[in-house]
Amino acid sequence: QLQLQESGPGLVKPSETLSLTCTVSGGSISSSSYYWGWIRQPPGKGLEWIGSIYYSGSTYYNPSLKSRVTISVDTSKNQFSLKLSSVTAADTAVYYCARLGSLWGQGTLVTVSS
């Protein structure tokens, strides 16, 4: 049974880089035809797509975040990762990883505060 689990610091200082990893278990991240992505949800608000990656490394980013986002994949570890630079309080949110169009991780709250 496929499962996704986010991991990383729950508190990041302003201007620093937020780094999260998604570990995929019960299935291979190299499975063809699936894209893997990061989505976030500020407290009390809706869902915002951050970006997506294919196992080959092809990436697609939300234009509003593109200048600050890097998503990468490590097929040997069955993981993909998110880096968001120059964070501000507006980046405080629950961050989800997902196999697009199907299963999501449980989410992890990241707070940006000094």
Partner 1 sequence: EIVLTQSPATLSLSPGERATLSCRASQSVSSYLAWYQQKPGQAPRLLIYDASNRATGIPARFSGSGSGTDFTLTISSLEPEDFAVYYCQQRSNWPPGWITFGQGTRLEIK
- Contact footprint for partner 1 (CB under 8 A): 35, 37, 39, 46-49, 51-54, 58-60, 63, 96, 100-107
Nearest to partner 1 of 52, 92 (CB atom) = 52
Nearest Cα to Cα of residue 23 among 40, 7, 41:
7
Shortest Cβ 11–partner 1 spacing (Å): 20
d(CA 103, CA 100): 7
Task: Provide, rounded to whole angstroms, the least separation between the CB of residue 16 and partner 1.
Answer: 26
Q: Is 22:39 a contact under the CB 8 Å cutoff?
A: no
Closer by beta carbon to partner 1, 1 or else 114: 1
Q: How far is the CB of 13 from partner 1 (least distance, A)?
A: 26
Closest CA to 105 of 38, 50, 11, 43: 38
Residue 14 or 57: which CB sits closer to partner 1? 57
Q: What residues form DSSP beta bridges with 108?
A: 95
Nearer to partner 1, 16 or 70 (CB): 70
Minimum distance, C-beta of residue 77 to partner 1, in the bound complex (Å) = 21
